[in-house]
Structures are given as C-alpha cells and as structure tokens.
Amino acid sequence: MLVTSLRFACLALVLSMPATVRAQSVERGQYLFQVSGGCSCHTDVKNQGALMAGGRALATPFGTFYSPNVTPDRDTGLGTWAQDDFVRAMRDGEAPDGRHLFPAFPFASFTGMTDPDLADLWAYLRTIPAIAAPNRDHELDAPFGWRFLLPLWTSLYLEQGPLIDDPERSASWNRGRYLVEALAHCGECHTPRDLLGGMDRDRWLAGTADGPEGGSVPNITPDPETGIGAWSDDAIRRVLRSGMLPDGDFVGGAMAEAGESFRHLTDADLDAIVTYLRGVPAIVNQVTTTKPAASSSAWE
C-alpha cells in the first residue's frame, strides 16, 4: 500500500515537474521583464496600445523609429520565433531572417544577459496575449536609414555578452553591474552617444543633454558636483523605488516610464545598483537640463 502510493507520488511529481519548472521560469521572466524597464518602448501607451504590440514612435537624432510588435502573434509578432531566434536578436542584434536590427533596440546592452535569464524572459514573453498589429516602417534620415551600414555599427560597438563576473569584486557589485549594464540598460539613456549613435563608454553614465526623445538625462556618476556623489544611498534607492528626488520633486520623462518597472526591484537588487554606481569613475559633466514634465506622483 505504502509502496503503491509512494510510486503514485513519484509519478505525480515527475508529471508535474515540467509544468512547475515552466511556471518558475515564467515567474523569473516576469521579474526580468519588469527590471529591464518593462520593455516599455514596445507598448504605445500614449495611444492606448496593447501590451508589447509595438507601434510606439521613438524620436531620435536619426529619425523616428516605430517599435515592432513582440507579442506571440504568428503573423505580425514573434509567434513563429524559436527561443534561439530571440537569443540571437538580444545578443547579436540579428533577426531570424538575417536582418541586422537598429541599435535603437538596445541589444548592445542586452547582449550582456545570461543564457538562463534570456530563456526565462522569453518564457514570460510567450505568455503575453497575442495581438495582431502590423509593424510600421521606420522614418529615418539617410544614411541612418541604410540598414546595410548596420553590420559596421555592430562591429564597432557590440561587445558580445554574456557579461562575465569579475572575481575580484563582490557579488553585490557584480549583480549591480549586470543590472545597470545589461538588464536594466541604464547606460543606454545615461551615457552620451558619439556621432554614429554608439554609447561613449569613456563617459559611462555621465549624462547628456541629448537623451531619448530629445530630453536631457542626468549624470549619475559619483562626481559630487555634477553627478550623484553627494546623494545618500537612501536617496538613490528612493528615486529608483518611488521616483522621488531628494528635493521632493518626482522624476519625469523617460525615467518615470522606466521607473514604473524599477519599483519592482528587490531590496538586494537596489543595494547592488547602489554599490555598482558608487564604484564607476566620477566624471565631471554638467548636463544642461531640459526638464521633462515631472510626474505628479510616486510610482507606488
């Protein structure tokens, strides 16, 4: 009797395992999705677009990009993609048909993500409702509209991942670097770009007057005058968790949108980001602010 029920118990365990493993992968993927900034470029919030159905206009100095549909719809989204196709897009900036993707899609950061994280993020994206919404062509100024230049761009700027932990540094610093450089791609907005639109890594996180959608992005290096060197750890944690700045105002623009997602950061991940930000080289760069309209409230 005992043996039989044990056997049933084992069988039940084995049968239920793939589903459990999948569920855990989706759950982890949802956290990665949130911390990555909610892939918010792919939702046209302004026009009440469906989650991840694309069509959002992204104004850049090179023209206007329209984000593609990344829901599991077979005809207009990523429904026919395999996990490997997704990994290739995120790590190499290449679509399954060999097309090179424009770096407005921050693959130069996502390339640093680990294989297990990419697998979990993919598992989560597969659970989003499929929406039929055809993609819209980008409206780019030559020569940036010339897709054939993209392999050159990639060869100049892509440092292919995944990021490898630095054994000389603490686990928290390594986690923080992973979040800032890869997953949450803070550098894509906070680092100035050069003429070809690549991140200027010598001025990592030093801010720019010429950020996404023409807005300015502050210097978040530890320089006490022009960066956030004078901020307390709590102040940095607070702006990421709730959007509240030390002067009681709230961040607006692109940061408010990314922050909708950063509020999900676990305490350990917040601490890791603070640890990492404290350790990047301090760069003196006074950014002229074109302050975006502050959101009226905290994210929570």
User: Which positions lie near ligand HEC, rule CB under 6 A?
Assistant: 37, 180, 184-186, 188-190, 211-212, 215, 217-218, 220, 228, 236, 239-240, 245, 251-255, 258, 262, 273, 291-292, 294
CB of 104 to ligand HEC, least distance (A): 12
CB of 243 to ligand HEC, least distance (A): 8
3-class DSSP assignment, residue 255: helix
CB of 101 to ligand HEC, least distance (A): 18
Smaller CB separation from ligand HEC, 131 or 183: 183
Cα 267 to Cα 164: distance, rounded to the nearest angstrom: 23
Smaller CB separation from ligand HEC, 16 or 232: 232
Smaller CB separation from ligand HEC, 157 or 262: 262
Smaller CB separation from ligand HEC, 53 or 258: 258
CA distances from 42 to 46, 72, 150 (A): 12, 13, 21
Smaller CB separation from ligand HEC, 70 or 255: 255
CB of 205 to ligand HEC, least distance (A): 8
First to last CA, the chain: 54
CB of 156 to ligand HEC, least distance (A): 22
- Residues 287/107/109/234 CA torsion (nearest 10 deg): 70
